Amino acid sequence: MSEPADAAHRRAIAPVICYPTETLPRLPDAQAARAREAWQKVDEVVVPPREAASFKVQAGQAFRISSVDGPQVGDLNLWNLTNFSERFYSGKTRALHGTHVTTGDRLWSSFPALRPMATILADSLDWYGMDGFGGSVHDVIGTRCDPYTHNLLAGGQYHHCCHSNLTRAFADATGASLAEAEHHVHDVLNVFMCTGFTRDTGQYFMKASPVRPGDHLDFLAEIDLLGALSACPGGDCSAEHSSDSAACYPLLVEVFETALTPDWLTPPLNGYDRSHGR
């Protein structure tokens, strides 16, 4: 189509932030500080390469995801431990906090709860910022590698995509069948993954993660959580995923009591009355 006469004018209109965050509830600084104090480890799980593992965190406890042996990205799912229908809402978290999350950002849950499930307490990769390609770390824009897209684009049957790893981990944690478990797997937080959208075509891209052993992402659990983390078959995602060709390493998840644990108050469900105008 030919451009209208005022095309340049229309393109020149400045954007408006969809969700100004001035009224978005943040974890108060005093609580965030106490959440970083008096850590006592109560559990840990090692996520093997190209596999997933589950873990439980009580509200008011913290959990840390660490790179251990080599650069590795992880795909994280979170559920309310007592109501699996309340789960991490990647899309709304993206709308509220942007394409990538870091210290102070919250992981929001699905409707109708729409409340913070966890808040990021520390991010050892926060120095990375946004690179010249528009890439950054810990995205909520990718969905998860999955065998359906792999089959669509390349054919074949690959069983260690994050989608399948998370499905098996949820089934093992809950006793659900694989068919049931698959419905609970949802869009992820891509821990340590470095991604963005190309500026010219808007395509989703990945590049070698800057993560190194010792890097970690720390969270405060705001409600009782079941988590599952997949050590993506893409390794550091420098080349490809959905295959066994990339170098892959384990990830470590540790759970800690904090100074905040004894008197933590779970955030309330969202205040909308759900009458939908009738």
Nearer to Zn ion, 145 or 260 (CB): 145
Q: Which stretch binds Zn ion (CB under 5 A): 84-92, 145-153, 194-202, 252-260?
A: 145-153
User: For residues 159 and 237, what is the distance between their CA atoms, to the nearest angstrom?
Assistant: 18
Whichever of 116 and 234 has its CB closer to Zn ion, that residue is: 234
CA distance 51 to 40: 27
Least distance to Zn ion from the beta carbon of 243, Å?
A: 11
**Which of 160-168, 209-217, 250-258, 269-277 is the region at the interface with Zn ion (rule: CB under 5 A)?**
160-168
Q: How far apart are CA 186 and CA 77, in angstroms?
A: 7
The alpha-carbon radius of gyration of the chain (Å, integer) is: 19
* Chain center to CA of 205: 17
- The single residue listed with the structure tokens 């009782």 is 224
Output the smallest distance, CB 42 to Zn ion, in A.
28
Least spacing, CB of residue 74 vs Zn ion, in Å: 8
DSSP reduced 3-state for 205:
strand
Residue 109: DSSP 8-state: B
Cβ nearer to Zn ion, comparing 145 with 223: 145
Distance CA(73)–CA(84), nearest Å, equals 25
Residue 206 interacts with Zn ion (CB under 5 A)?
no
Asked whether the beta carbons of 76 and 87 are under 8 A apart, the reply is: no
Does 162 help bind Zn ion (rule: CB under 5 A)? yes
* Binding status of residue 101 toward Zn ion by CB under 5 A: no
- The residue among 162 and 173 lying less far from Zn ion, judged by its C-beta, is 162
Please state the closest distance from residue 278 (CB atom) to Zn ion, in A: 42
Q: Which residue reads 């189509």 in tokens? A: 1
Q: Which is nearer to Zn ion, 60 or 233 (CB)?
A: 233
Site for Zn ion in 29-58 (CB under 5 A): none
Stretch that binds Zn ion, among 32-40, 77-85, 144-152, 265-273 (CB under 5 A): 144-152
Task: Output 27 or 193, the one with its CB closest to Zn ion.
Answer: 193
Residue with structure tokens 């969700």? Answer: 19
Residue 187 to residue 164: CA distance in whole angstroms: 13
Cβ 144 to Zn ion, closest distance in Å? 6
Among residue numbers 208 through 267, which ones bind Zn ion (CB under 5 A)?
A: 232
- What one-character-per-residue DSSP string does 221-265 give? ESS-EEEEEEE-TTTT-SS--SSS-S----EEEEEEE-TTGGG--
For residue 75, the minimal CB distance to Zn ion (Å) is: 5
The answer to whether 187 touches 143, Cβ cutoff 8 Å, is yes
Size of the site for Zn ion (CB under 5 A): 3
Is 145 one of the binding residues for Zn ion (CB under 5 A)?
Answer: yes
**CB of 107 or CB of 145, closer to Zn ion:** 145
Distance CA 116, CA 65 (A): 18
Measured from the CB atom, the residue of 115 and 241 that comes closer to Zn ion is 241
Contact residues for Zn ion, defined by CB under 5 A = 145, 162, 232
